[in-house]
Amino acid sequence: MTWLIGVIVGLGCALAGYVIHGGHILVLWQPTEVLSIGGLGIGYMIASNSPRNLKATFAAMPRAFKTPKANKRKFLDLLCLMFEILQKVRRDGLMSLEADIEEPEASALFEKYPSIKEDHHLVEFICDYLRMMLAGALNNVQIEALMEQELEVHHEESHKPIEVIGNLADAFPAFGIVAAVMGVVHVMGSIGLPPAELGKMIGAALVGTFLGILLSYSITSPISKALAQNEEVDGKVYNCVKAILLASLNGFPPQGAVEFGRKVLFSDMRPSFKELDEETKNVKGK
């Protein structure tokens, strides 16, 4: 969401400087330039992306206007959930989790942590690897390799919209030049008009370059970067689960295993050792 504030501040200052120098805002509104550049941008997206990528991009766009789904409270809930799961395994064995992982939507364990339960991809990730541990068909090294492969696929899928929007940002300055050149060609074909009319036409053509650069560096590029940063935060939940489960498989007790998960989180969203200890004590007391 901060990218929108930045766009407003940057654009506002640029337009204020333009007006202070005696410019007229309405001159910058050139519908034909907008149509040309916008049409080129839409055509570029359609031509260079599969329907799957386009669908993913449009679905991801609203996330640029929101803060990341993951926050300190969600990470704390995740650590407590994983602690409770490992405690149950230690106390009652892996088989005690069968009902929870087969129907997590009806599990009292997941019900305690709504912020985790509503994240269906995360719940599926947790349950899938608990099933593998329950089946005992894979060793620790194989499970770790499989996790890394799945996280790599998740990274590729989640970054596809970022790549699409980033490519569009790179293309917009060129589209602005195309629109400007078309305007100059039109001016050359109207060279017999009075200088005042030609000046307006040249100004309109130059607006194309202005719009192309503006759409690139002030709008689409910040959107791409905002999505990338949000995804970087949201993706940490999977790394956290991975670290905890692998630590558990390597023989660490629940309290030690969740500490591995805590340490992979960004410092500003990482619960302190004391906070986690207090929360896990509450879990033990339930």
What DSSP string runs through the chain?
-HHHHHHHHHHHHHHHHHHHTT--GGGG--HHHHHHHHHHHHHHHHHHS-HHHHHHHHHHGGGGGS--S--HHHHHHHHHHHHHHHHHHHHH-GGGGHHHHH-GGG-HHHHT-HHHHT-HHHHHHHHHHHHHHHHT-S-HHHHHHHHHHHHHHHHHHHHHHHHHHHHHHHHHHHHHHHHHHHHHHHHHTTTTS-HHHHHHHHHHHHHHHHHHHHIIIIIIHHHHHHHHHHHHHHTHHHHHHHHHHHHHHTT--HHHHHHHHHHTS-TTTPPPHHHHHHHHHHHHH-
Around 272, how many Cα atoms within 13 Å sit in the side-chain half-sphere?
Answer: 3
Please say if the pLDDT value at position 259 is more than 80: yes
Residues 103-115: what's their mean pLDDT?
89
Q: Distance from first CA to last CA of the chain, Å, rounded? A: 38
Would you list the domain boundaries of the chain? Answer: 31-286
φ and ψ of 70, to 5 deg: -80, 140
CA 203, CA 210: separation in Å to the nearest integer?
A: 10
How far is the C-alpha of 122 from the C-alpha of 5, rounded, in Å?
A: 31
Instruction: Give the per-residue pLDDT at 278.
Output: 87
Confidence of residue 284 (pLDDT cuts 50, 70, 90): low
pLDDT at 64: 82
Contact 45, 224 (CB under 8 A): no
Confidence of residue 1 (pLDDT cuts 50, 70, 90): low
> What is the chain's mean pLDDT, rounded?
89
Mean pLDDT within 159-179 = 94
Instruction: Give me the pLDDT at residue 12, please.
Output: 86
* Angle in degrees, CA 116, 2, 272, rounded to 5: 45
Whole-angstrom Cα distance, residue 59 to residue 178?
A: 29
Confidence label for 14 from pLDDT (cuts 50, 70 and 90): confident
- Percentage of the chain beyond pLDDT 70 is 98
Q: What is the largest CA-CA distance in the chain?
A: 91
Q: What is the pLDDT of residues 235-253, one digit of tens each?
A: 999 999 999 999 999 999 9
Determine the Cα–Cα distance for residues 190 and 193; give it in Å rounded to an integer. 6
Query: For 118-133, what is each residue's pLDDT tens digit?
Result: 999 999 999 999 998 8
Residue type, 93: G
> Whole-model pTM?
0.83
Predicted confidence at residue 205, as pLDDT, reads 86
pLDDT at 29: 86
Distance of CA 184 to the CA centre of its chain: 40
- Please classify residue 26 by burial: count the beta carbons closer than 10 Å to its beta carbon, then call 0-12 exposed, 13-18 middle and 19+ buried: exposed
pLDDT over threshold 60, residue 135: yes
Q: How confident is the model at residue 261 (pLDDT cuts 50, 70, 90)?
A: very high
Q: Using one digit for the tens of pLDDT, what is the confidence trace for 149-166?
A: 999 999 999 999 999 999
Residue 18 tokens, joined: 């333009």
Cβ neighbours for 272, distance < 8 A, ≥ 6 positions apart: none
Highest-pLDDT range among 4-8, 240-244, 276-280: 240-244
Query: How do residues 192-208 score in pLDDT, each as one tens digit?
Result: 788 888 888 888 888 88
Q: What six digits make up the tokens of 202? A: 């040249």
pLDDT of residue 186: 84
- Rounded average pLDDT over 25-30: 83
